Amino acid sequence: MDKLDKKYQEINAETIDNWIEDGWVWGVPISREEFAAAKAGKWDVLLTPSKPVPHEWFAPFAGMKLLGLASGGGQQMPVFAALGADCTVLDYSDKQLESERMVAEREGYEINVVKGDMTKRLPFDDDTFDLIFHPVSNCYIEDVYHVWNECYRVLKKGGILLAGMDNGINFLFEDHDAEPLVVTGKVPYNPLKDRALFERTVAEDGVQFSHTMEEQIGGQLRAGLTLTDIYEDREPEGNLAKHFPQYIATRSVKKG
């Protein structure tokens, strides 16, 4: 089947599976040593590429019902399981979910592994989770308002949403290593509305989308969440990161 005939969500799942085969950094599970360190209280997790999430953004983990939303790969969920959380992970990449099962079996803990498309209604009841951990991933979906509404629905009252997002700057430059940087792209960036862009980028990048702060932060507020904190981040290396922060992370709460 030609990529033009597939749903973009399926294209992105296949793209990520291929990246993992090539050693994608976000598809490398944590080691036995890292899991043991987490059990001993030495841990950090990432919502964005470089800056660890402040530990004070979390609630006590013991008995916490925690959803890793588009958070497969065996990187964050094992840490949360080691700290005592009751973890569920939802992802649309088979390879990312395989890693979750592998680490859980290796380390001897239980995790609810769900293959699911976050552009659809999440397969969970209302008021299920104490915390949702949602690393940078909504650049792979067109409608983020739906995701925020679903997060609000499945969070318990008092529940916490931790989300990592790109700010759209990456889409403005085709050559991130050029100096001086030259703006060659534009936002909104939506290959579904630009066939030439789709055909030029889909083979390497999948189908990605830029989103405004109105969508990212305003969308959380419109869903009913209350923003409590925010920080910016950059790629750990690369020319573009020298010039701008490229990512944001937010902490929001479903007030009781």
Q: What is the mean pLDDT of the chain?
A: 96
pTM for the predicted model, two decimal places: 0.97
Nearest Cα residue to 144 out of 119, 125, 169, 162: 119
Domains, the chain: 3-167+210-253 (3.40.50.150)
Q: Is the pLDDT of residue 2 over 60?
A: no
State the pLDDT at residue 1: 46
Q: Give dist(CA 253, CA 95) in Å, integer.
A: 31
Q: Give dist(CA 122, CA 157) in Å, integer.
A: 18
By DSSP bridging, strand 86-91 and strand 112-115 are: parallel
| Lowest pLDDT segment from 174-183, 191-200, 246-255 | 174-183
DSSP-derived secondary structure for 199-253: HHHHHHH-S-----HIIIIIHHHHHT-EEEEEEEE--SSSHHHHH---EEEEEEE
Percentage of the chain surpassing pLDDT 70? Answer: 98
pLDDT one-digit tens code per residue, 112-168: 999 999 999 999 999 999 999 999 999 999 999 999 999 999 999 999 999 999 999
Return the bridge partners of 133, or none: 68, 162
Q: Is the pLDDT of residue 5 over 80?
A: no
pLDDT one-digit tens code per residue, 32-76: 999 999 999 999 999 999 999 999 999 999 999 999 999 999 999
pLDDT one-digit tens code per residue, 17-28: 999 999 999 999
Q: Is the pLDDT of residue 3 over 70?
A: no
Which residues are CB-neighbours of 83 under 8 A, at least 6 positions away?
38, 39, 43, 61, 62
Give φ, ψ of 159 to 5 degrees.
Answer: -70, 160
Torsion of CA 22, 100, 168, 55, to 10 degrees: -130
Return the bridge partners of 161, or none: 132, 252
By DSSP bridging, strand 112-115 and strand 247-253 are: unpaired
Which residues are CB-neighbours of 130 under 8 A, at least 6 positions away?
59, 64, 65, 66, 155, 156, 158, 159, 160
Q: Is the pLDDT of residue 8 over 70?
A: yes
